[in-house]
Amino acid sequence: MAPPTPDQLRTRERFEALIRLAAPALDLVLAVGERVSRLVEPEDTEYYPPRASREGPPPPPSQPGGTEG
């Protein structure tokens, strides 16, 4: 892959700066949305917690070309 051109680097820096600038406002929107959703419906009747398994985690997949046994 070719290295980015100076124009591409400038564009990337601008987008990253815009994201850094907008991040606190977006965090605030998420926090307010969470509070509002808890006020509107404190008990989520459609929430189903994940099923708890009594078994351990599954074994890792075998490596291709590896020896088993």
Residues in the chain: 69
Q: Which of 15, 32, 13, 36 is nearest to 24 (CA)?
A: 32
Domain residue spans of the chain: 1-38
What gap in Å lies between CA 8 and CA 12, rounded to an integer? 6
Residue 67 pLDDT grade (very low, low, confident, very high; cuts 50, 70, 90) = low
Read off the pLDDT of residues 5-48 as tens digits, 9 standing for 90 and up: 999 999 999 999 999 999 999 999 999 999 998 898 888 777 77
Burial status of residue 24 (CB atoms within 10 A of its CB: 0-12, 13-18, 19 or more) = exposed
Provide the whole-model pTM: 0.51
